Amino acid sequence: MRKLLLSIAFFTSGLASFAQTVPLTRNWYIAPVAATAVTTTNSTIAYNKGTGKLYVADRNNKIYIVDPSNGSWSAANLINTTTVGSESYKYTKIRVADDGAIYAISMGTVSAGVAKLVVYKWSSETDAIPTRSEINVTKRVGESLAVLGTGVNTVLYVSGATNNEIYKLTTVDGESFTLSQTITLGANNQAWGSISPISSTEFIINGPQSVGIRKITIDNTGTITNTTLIPAPIEPVYSNAEYFEDGAKKYLALSGTVVGSAAPSTNTAARIRIYDITTITSPVLVSSAEMFATLPVTNSNPSGYADVAVLKNGDGTTTFFHVVHGSGLASYTTTGTLPVTLRDFSAALVKGQSTLSWQTVSETKNKGFEVWRANDDMKFSAIGFVDSKAQNGHSSEVLNYSFIDRTAKVGENYYKLKQVDLDGAEQQFGKIVNVKLSFDDQSIVAFPNPTTKYVTVNAGSTDYSAVKYELFDLSGKKVLSEKAKAIQQEISLNGLPSSIYYLRISKNNELQKTVKLIKQ
């Protein structure tokens, strides 16, 4: 007699996200020419979701109001040098709060042990003269800025080149800002490329190439309690790492080249890349584009300082506005919605049956999933279909799926999934899991047990022609009788009441084994 055993193996290990790559289509591009000096002298950009306008800074000169639909410049600039202070390197970074307030900072370098940080705030586009706050710090500051909250609850986070600190700035009147906390990052957590908030305690920071892109957690005392270095395939060569979310999915938009590096031999500085970091230890590239075929460096500073603003459109697509110091300004939109993302695809033995499980974090136009199986010949064929749980195929919530393979064969069973859109488009996900069914010579096994509808039995031998299965209830009444049709087969218990039964397995009318079954 032989006992049925189930072992699980994976072609890939660990939790991972699997996504279709979505192309980016360029809407418009502005080259770095004198008429639009902003594209040659700075690298910061922000989108105001309240007004639907884009702000692009011409460092130390103007902040332009730009039409995001075509990239045209407004004659009415947000601000110019006649109404602000005289410090050098104004508007090195700009951001917009959720209430429409516009913030810009000036870069301050260290002189006599002090670096002066200047913060400007415009309550709206029509605010003619901004509020100006001067703050003394001890290290260079101004290359990175993050804004959280609104009004008197607004908090600014700033840092700068070669600086291993983040300065937290707060306000009591919603207008002027003061230094409330110095957060020491340490040599391996510099944030002078960018600071992008996930929440009030979690941030994505980016520093020099030797440091890379990291997620940090900051407690209310300013202590760094956790850091996670985001692994390959995300390259550490990008100067800007902008975090954004779409439903339950989490993304990073990367652009530019590492601050302080030489002009890259490749086109990295002019490239934008979008990564799905929903599972932060397994980032997945979902979109990529380049401004142009070759990298012009029209400014004396060869570094690819860069910035990205993100606009989630009402039709499910996403638009990215991308500016690079000395290289230009461009707008891209995904040609389709950001993809169905599959997580945790796995196989397991559940009540004796080969069961597949997977999870999506959001879905768009998803009809469902086709389940494919192959055996040792690795010739895959469809064995079932699981409908999308998302209403009308759209969801921003985590959804869990499962599939029971009642016809799994003895030996190796390999599985993969194909996602099918409502419009008929298909995408095969790359991960394959496999389940191995094998036997020992100890006994015959019937599974699952307990069961609800079916029980799978094994004859225990390739010579199954004389094997017979008989099922008895608690009173000893025979309620089912079948001859073996294969080494392994299913016996239906449909129609039988929930109870305890005894399966008698005989060969040539000689009892081989009796198995107690529970039908639920």
Q: Where in the chain is CATH 2.120.10.30?
A: 21-334
Which residues lie across from 488 on neighbouring strands? Answer: 458
Q: Domain 446-519 classified CATH 3.40.50.1970?
A: no
Only one residue has tokens 């290290």, namely 139
Find, among 330, 392, 337, 405, the residue nearest to 366 by Cα. Answer: 392
CA distance 138 to 59: 23
Structural contact between residues 279 and 17, judged by C-beta atoms closer than 8 angstroms? yes
Kindly report, residue by residue over 342-373, the tens digit of the pLDDT: 767 888 766 556 789 998 877 777 899 999 99
Is the pTM higher than 0.85?
no
Query: 281 in the Ramachandran plot: left (φ > 0), alpha (ψ -120 to 50) or beta?
Result: alpha
112 has pLDDT over 80: yes
Domain boundaries for CATH 2.60.40.10 within the chain: 4-15+339-439, 446-519
The CA distance from 103 to 117, in Å, is 13
Instruction: Give me the amino acid identity at 489.
Output: Q
CATH fold of the domain at 4-15+339-439 = Immunoglobulin-like (2.60.40)
pLDDT band at 226 (very low <50, low <70, confident <90, very high): confident
Quote the pLDDT of residue 47.
Answer: 94
**pLDDT one-digit tens code per residue, 40-73:** 566 789 999 889 999 988 877 788 888 999 988 8
Residue 241's identity, in one-letter code, is A
| Residue 219 token pair | 């407690």
User: What's the pLDDT score for residue 96?
Assistant: 95
How would DSSP label each residue in 444-476? --EESSSBSSEEEEE-SSS--TTEEEEEE-TTS
Please report the pLDDT score of residue 364 as a whole number: 76
Instruction: Round to whole Å and give the CA distance between 323 and 267.
Output: 14
Q: How many CB atoms lie within 10 A of CB 321?
A: 25
Q: To the nearest whole percent, how much of the chain has pLDDT over 90?
A: 25
Cα–Cα distances (Å) from 91 to 81, 125, 249, in that order, read: 10, 15, 32
- What mean pLDDT do residues 273-281 have? 86
CATH 2.120.10.30 fits 21-334, yes or no: yes
Can you spell out the DSSP letters for 371-422? EEEE-TT---EEEEEEE--SGGG-B-S-EEEEEEETTPPSEEEEEEEEEEET
